[in-house]
Amino acid sequence: MKTLYLEMNISIYNCQSLKQKRNIANGIADKLKKKYNVSVAQKHFSSNLNEFILGIAAVSINFQQLDKLRQRIITYVDNNVHEAEIIQISHEIY
């Protein structure tokens, strides 16, 4: 069994409130959970309204499947989340 851990530092454009930040973070997390069947959690809850970190985890039998999943998740967030952008990505496959 192999495990993927993907961490995305995401910046939000023009965030005005903590409620707006939570709505955006939860929306991204829910979409990823439904579309890719992964576990998603907001890892670091910063007082900065314009940034948050999502931790994403998945399990599979082989490395190649997890690497493709990682690429699809990053592409999905880049192309479909218009109110925010990814500013840093780190990942590990064990």
Q: What is the mean pLDDT of the chain?
A: 92
Mean pLDDT of 12-17: 88
Q: How many CB atoms lie within 10 A of CB 57?
A: 13
Would you tell me how many other CB atoms lie within 10 Å of the CB of residue 59? 12
The reported pTM is: 0.89
The yes or no reply on domain 2-93 and CATH 3.30.70.1120 is: yes
**Domain range summary for the chain, segments of one domain joined by +:** 2-93
Q: Residue 45 pLDDT > 90, yes or no?
A: no
Q: Is the pLDDT of residue 86 over 90?
A: yes
SS3 per-residue string spanning 17-45: CHHHHHHHHHHHHHHHHHHHCCEEEEEEC
Whether the pLDDT of residue 35 is over 80: the answer is yes
Region for residue 59 given its phi and psi (left: phi exceeds 0; alpha: psi -120 to 50; beta: otherwise): beta
Strand, helix or coil for residue 64: helix
Residue 44 to residue 3: CA distance in whole angstroms: 21
Token readout for 69 is 């999943």
Residue 52 has which token pair?
């948050």
pLDDT digits (tens, 9 = 90+) for 57-74: 999 999 999 999 999 999
**Is 9's pLDDT higher than 90?**
yes
